[in-house]
Amino acid sequence: MKTTTMAVILAGCGNRDGSETHETLSALLAMDRRGISYKCFAPQGDFVVYDHSTMQPTDQKRNILIEAARLCRGDIQPLENYNPSDFDALVLPGGMGAAQNWSTYAFEGKDMSVLPEIEKALIDTHNAGKPIGAMCIAPMILAKVFGSEHILLTLGSRCEAAEAAMAMGCRHKECPATDAVTDHEHKIVTTPAYMVATHISQIFDGADKMIEQVQSLIR
C-alpha cells in the first residue's frame, strides 16, 4: 500500500513572526501517528524578528527558510522545489508568519496580497485536486486566493479575521479549537487553533482532526 505523503509549508519559527511551534509540531505528530510521511518547505526572503519575551519587533532580520528549519530538524527545502504531483495533500500551520511573511494581512487586512510563491503553490495544489489543510490565521491565505470560489472555512469565532474572509467571498463557520471544518467540494480543511485555543492539548486535538479530515479527502 502506498504511503500517504503530505507537504507542509512553514513561515519561520515562532508564533509572533513565523510558524506557531505548537501548531506545527501538533500537525507533524498527527501525521506521524497516522503513518503519514511529510516534507517541509518554506519560501526564501527576510523578515523582521520579534523578541518573543516581549512580543515586540527588533532591528534584526532573518531568513524565513533558515528559521523554519528549526522546526523540522533541518529537513526542509525551498518552496520553489514544491511540486503537488509528489504529494497527496498540503498543510499550512498558523502563526503570524502567515500574516506577515506569506502575506500582508497583518498590515492591510482584507486588502492583503499573498506572496506569489505561496499563491502558486496553493493554486497548483488545488488545480491538481489535492486537499489543503490550514490552521489558525493561515486560512486567511486561502480566503485571499480562493475567496471567489466561496470556500467554507473557520477562524474560530466571528472575529475580525472572519469578517475579512467573508468580505473576500468566503463562507465562515464557527468552530472550537478541538475540531475542524471541512469543505468537501473544494477539499479544504481548517481548524482555528490559537485563534480560540487556551491549552496546547486543544491544539493537538484540532490538528489531529484536521489531518484526519485531510486524509479522508485524498483520492
Question: Annotated catalytic sites, by residue?
Answer: 136
CA distances from 114 to 12, 14, 23, 49, 104 (A): 16, 20, 21, 20, 7
**Coil, strand or helix at 62:** strand
d(CA 216, CA 44): 32
Query: Contact, 104 vs 38, CB < 8 A?
Result: no
Phi–psi pair at 23, nearest 5 degrees: -70, -45
CB 97 within 8 A of CB 12: yes
Of 186, 85, 206, give the one whose Cα is nearest residue 143: 186
Where would I find the H helices in the chain? 21-33, 64-68, 96-100, 105-108, 116-127, 139-146, 160-167, 200-216
Q: Residue 189 and residue 100: Cα distance in Å, rounded?
A: 22
Nearest 5°: the CA angle 87, 128, 140 is 85
